């Protein structure tokens, strides 16, 4: 078909037109592209995490129109662990019989260490126009605006500015980039010169301040050293003075204490020697007194007891001889009686002897040499001691001054009667 036309009313179905023919009325009036004056011309912007938003806008591509009347959020596929990639936000026109629809979606790119942008589909029945390219770095969890490169207005996805014309801003973008580069380089040079100027100013000021501080420090250091030296000498002299004062006082006190100690030691030794000798002399004197008295008392009592024993034995033998001379056969009973009486007397005598040995200890106060007196001999209970005839035993005592110890207490002697 070389010539087509339209539109005429159909008569019995002889004039039928399809969607392409209906849309062809705009051919030559509206060029393919994004309408610049509608909404935000489908510009792509960051949202949150891995979500981006496609702005409001209208497009005309391949005899079809597409309207996005609200922000369209799209989720960018999860990033790779090790590799980077580019994804594309596309407006797709699909006229295939099974689809017959337009859509805005994300085409995932191929991961690589040096990734490239996805290739757009361009066939007889399906076309893709990039609204933006998104750089997805390895391991990222969010998309920033710096990762988004908008293509609206470029040759890949141009603006439509008037019903009969369209505009491409590739040259403008290049110009703007060059102007920005020129501005940036100029500002960078200016800032570097300014930075260099202020560095020099700072260095000059810092060196001046450093020299001033160093000079002040050296001055203070010299002043401190001078003060320290002066006061150190003064303090050392003061310390030496007080050390000498203390040493002098300590030596004086030590000598005084030593002298007093030696004096007290000499006094004590003298007192101890005098009293020791006195006490030893007193002890020796009283020991001699006691031994003399004891020996005399023991000798006297021992001799008297021996005399009494000898006398008793003699009397017994005389009595026994007389008894033998008088004894005859008729007197057996009388003899037995006498023997019993004699046995009783012997028992009494033995008991008396035992009592003298075990119980009858005579306690007497000791006197020095004087005249003798005779008195009853008392036991430890102050009771009179009797002999076998129940006669009171008379003892001799000395009636003179009492013997006393070093404390002034009366010395008592003890005499024990022993029958041998």
What lies within 8 Å, CB to CB, of 76 at 6+ separation is 50, 51, 52, 87, 106, 134, 136, 143
What DSSP element (H or E) covers 255? helix 170-326
Mean pLDDT within 238-259: 87
356 has a pLDDT exceeding 60: no
Q: How many Å apart are CA 59 and CA 102, to the nearest integer?
A: 10
Q: Considering all CA atoms of the chain, what is the largest pairwise distance in Å, rounded to the nearest integer?
A: 217
> For position 3, what pLDDT does the model report?
64
Backbone angles phi, psi at 163, to 5 degrees: -60, -25
Select from 68, 65, 37, 27 the least CA-distant residue to 161: 37
Cβ atoms < 10 Å from Cβ of 238: 11
Mean pLDDT within 392-401: 64
Mean pLDDT within 119-138: 96
For the entire predicted model, the pTM comes to 0.42
pLDDT one-digit tens code per residue, 136-171: 999 999 999 989 999 999 999 999 875 655 555 665
> For position 283, what pLDDT does the model report?
81
Task: Give, in order, the Cα–Cα distances in Å from 332 to each of 170, 214, 326, 340.
Answer: 187, 152, 11, 12
Ranked by mean pLDDT, the top range of 129-133, 270-274, 368-372 is: 129-133
76 near 51, Cβ under 8 Å?
A: yes
> For position 1, what pLDDT does the model report?
47
> For position 379, what pLDDT does the model report?
72
Span of 124-128, 205-209, 271-275, 409-413 with lowest mean pLDDT: 409-413
For the record, the structure tokens of 286 come out as 């009283």
CATH class label, 19-168: mainly beta
Backbone angles phi, psi at 362, to 5 degrees: -95, 120
> For position 122, what pLDDT does the model report?
96
pLDDT band at 28 (very low <50, low <70, confident <90, very high): low
Q: How far is CA 389 from the centre of its chain?
A: 100
> For position 154, what pLDDT does the model report?
92
366 has a pLDDT exceeding 70: no
Give 149's strand partners.
133
Cβ atoms < 10 Å from Cβ of 243: 10
3-state secondary structure of 11: coil
**Is pLDDT larger for residue 235 or for residue 25?**
235
Backbone angles phi, psi at 144, to 5 degrees: -100, 160
What DSSP element (H or E) covers 105? strand 101-107
Sign of the dihedral through C-alpha 264, 266, 268, 274: negative
Q: How many Å apart are CA 338 and CA 72, to the nearest integer?
A: 166
Average pLDDT, the chain: 81
Ranked by mean pLDDT, the top range of 93-102, 220-229, 305-314 is: 93-102
312 has a pLDDT exceeding 60: yes
pLDDT one-digit tens code per residue, 162-206: 565 555 566 557 657 777 887 888 888 889 999 999 999 998 888
Q: How far is CA 373 from the centre of its chain?
A: 94
> For position 4, what pLDDT does the model report?
60
Span of 128-132, 192-196, 300-304, 309-313 with lowest mean pLDDT: 300-304
């Amino acid at each position: 078909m070389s010539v087509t036309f339209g539109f005429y009313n159909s008569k019995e179905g002889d004039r039928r037109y399809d969607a392409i023919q209906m849309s062809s009325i705009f051919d030559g009036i509206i060029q393919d592209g994004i309408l610049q004056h509608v909404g935000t011309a489908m510009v792509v912007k960051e949202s949150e995490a891995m979500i981006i938003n496609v702005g409001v806008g209208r497009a005309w591509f391949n005899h079809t129109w597409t309207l996005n009347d609200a922000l369209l959020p799209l989720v960018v596929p999860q990033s790779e662990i090790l590799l980077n990639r580019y994804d594309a936000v596309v407006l797709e026109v699909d006229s295939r019989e099974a689809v017959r629809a337009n859509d805005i979606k994300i085409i995932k790119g191929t991961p690589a260490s040096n990734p490239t942008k996805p290739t757009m589909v361009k066939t007889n029945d399906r076309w893709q126009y990039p609204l933006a390219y998104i750089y997805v770095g390895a391991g990222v969890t969010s998309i920033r605006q710096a990762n988004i490169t908008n293509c609206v207005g470029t040759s890949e996805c141009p603006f439509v500015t008037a019903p009969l014309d369209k505009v491409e801003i590739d040259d403008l973008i290049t110009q703007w980039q060059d102007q920005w580069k020129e501005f940036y380089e100029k500002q960078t040079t200016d800032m570097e010169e300014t930075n260099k100027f202020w560095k020099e100013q700072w260095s000059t000021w810092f060196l001046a301040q450093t020299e001033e501080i160093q000079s002040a420090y050296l001055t203070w250091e010299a002043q401190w050293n001078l003060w320290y030296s002066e006061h150190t000498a003064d303090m050392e002299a003061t310390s030496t003075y007080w050390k000498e004062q203390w040493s002098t006082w300590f030596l004086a006190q030590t000598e005084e204490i030593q002298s007093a100690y030696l004096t007290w030691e000499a006094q004590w030794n003298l007192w101890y020697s005098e009293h020791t000798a006195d006490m030893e002399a007193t002890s020796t004197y009283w020991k001699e007194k006691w031994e003399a008295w004891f020996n005399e008392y023991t000798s006297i009592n021992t001799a008297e007891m021996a005399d009494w024993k000898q006398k008793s034995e003699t009397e017994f033998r005389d009595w026994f001889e007389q008894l033998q001379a008088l004894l005859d056969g008729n007197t057996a009973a009388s003899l037995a009686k006498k023997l019993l009486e004699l046995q009783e007397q012997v028992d009494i005598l033995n008991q008396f002897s035992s009592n003298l040995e075990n119980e009858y200890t005579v306690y007497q106060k000791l006197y020095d040499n004087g005249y003798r007196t005779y008195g009853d001999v008392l036991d430890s209970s102050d009771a009179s001691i009797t002999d076998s005839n129940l006669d009171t035993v008379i003892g001799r005592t000395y009636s003179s001054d009492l013997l006393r110890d070093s404390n002034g207490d009366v010395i008592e002697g003890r005499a024990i009667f022993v029958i041998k």
